[in-house]
Chain A
């Protein structure tokens, strides 16, 4: 048991180091900073302009911080899922090291989780920049003194863990599919945008689609973050009004365990299939 834990830890921290080396050394620090600032702001700006065009710039309405905050933290969804799932394609097709990693005495799922840490860090920077820009230029009513920091930190950690498990599920799937030229993580994150209550309350969805939102852990995660940072703003959107913070946290915890189970179970299955079909060291780029 001890050696398995040691192996898992070793796999994780080595992969974290590697992931950071890969993510951080493609250019000089100035250009890296510019990239890290412009990308999230441009993404937020799309929603801001859409909102501004339709509402005539009424940024003090409660819906605007709902949208803005949800979109800001949704950055984590893309970055963590992409960071983890992309490592499979990158190692298999680009660096051709996946086969060597496989034969090493490491715990592969923890290796992939470690590879996602760098993107989590750059994602954190993007979230911070987006929130700061919102507070400075768009009157985002975030009162840091009144925020529920324990709830925020606990929710953030639980959310990242769930996202990591979801990213791991995608990584497992990536073992079996070809390298199409898009990013699977980005495609899935884009799709989940619809169901997670990130930029509109679930009530906006048709009634037959809403259940999908209620089984998404991201939905509860974003609700908890809004409650922690915008306690007054959340009251205008009663989707989860009947659930207390503790109940929401309990649901998040339960979903974390569920997705964790799926992640490791799917790894076993996809790993077996990939090895049976000889997919570990194939190249599929076209």
Chain B
């Protein structure tokens, strides 16, 4: 009989196993395509027309399309990863995850990656369809740097999401509502639809703690001709900061998950069903 996998092999197995329900379920119940992809395109379009109504420069339309696409990843992190422990606790799966040797970060990563199909479809639809419909002119200054910035943004964002998920080990509905509370302020402070520089240096600096802020700012600078003049910091500096954030958030997520698990076990909150 083959020995059971441990270490990074177990990590990988867990990621694949937890991603599986997501990937399969999205094939078996396809109603999400209408609600998650098509409707979100309409919602993003509303912001385009707001800018048209107030006669914004055309590149702002591009900002909205880009921001709308990145919204997909933010919502994936917030609702299909961070808060998922809440549902797992309520359905009785969380204790089974905890008593298994599977790493919690692998379970969370599996959840996130499992949803990436839908997320990517949503983001791609907004970029492609939105770009064509609203005649957005993307002008890629540095393709490799763009890919790097995008990747680092996602890694840091998912790390932040894992830190957030740890709250759900200890709390239930309070954490759920706090996640809901975070949604709009993050849209505001990350500059989804406008350059973050508009909020002033210090607000932008504090907002830069959210990976999306610098990620979006850097992507705008790399995708639009006027992006550089509207950027907060130099792209390379923003990339470096995102790199550091990625490492710090992943490590912090690991520590926070272990710490919160210990507290939850001590206080009996892992099993407490918060009605």
Stretch of B38-46, B211-219, B232-240, B242-250 contacting A (4+ beta carbons < 8 Å): B38-46
Q: Which residues of B contact A27 (CB under 8 A)?
A: 173-174, 177
**Residue A132, interface by CB 8 Å:** no
Which residue of chain B lies nearest to A44 when distances are taken between CB atoms in the complex? B184
Please tell me if the beta carbons of B55 and A184 are within 8 angstroms of each other in the complex: no
A93–B113 Cα gap in the complex (Å)? 23
| A contact residues around B158 at 8 Å (CB) | none
The reply on B275 being an interface residue by CB < 8 A is: yes
Confirm or deny: A137 has a beta carbon within 8 angstroms of a beta carbon on chain B: no
By size class, the interface of chain A is: 35 or more
Contact B185 A190 (CB under 8 A): no
Contact with A along B180-215 (1 / 0, CB 8 A): 110011011000111100110000000000000000
Beyond A180-B32, A285-B87, A286-B21, whether A50 also contacts B194 by CB under 8 A is yes
A residues 228-286 in Cβ contact with B at 8 Å:
283-286
Residue B79 lies at the interface, judged by CB distance under 8 Å to chain A: yes
Interface check B161, CB cutoff 8 A: no
- The verdict on B53 contacting chain A, using a C-beta distance below 8 Å, is yes
- A interface residues, Cβ below 8 angstroms from B: 26-27, 31, 35, 38-39, 42-43, 45-47, 49-55, 63, 67, 93-95, 177-178, 180-182, 184, 187-188, 190-191, 193-195, 198-201, 204-205, 283-286
Contact residues of B with A, CB < 8 Å? Answer: 21-22, 25, 29, 31-32, 35-36, 38-40, 42-43, 45-47, 49-57, 60, 75, 79-80, 83-84, 87, 90-91, 115, 173-174, 176-178, 180-181, 184-185, 187-188, 192-195, 198-199, 274-275
Extra contacts, 9 of them, besides A27-B177, A182-B32, A200-B49 (Cβ < 8 A), are A50-B50, A54-B60, A94-B87, A177-B31, A180-B29, A187-B40, A190-B43, A193-B46, A284-B25
- 6 nearest A-B pairs in the assembled complex, by CB-CB distance: A190-B43, A200-B53, A42-B184, A191-B42, A178-B29, A286-B25
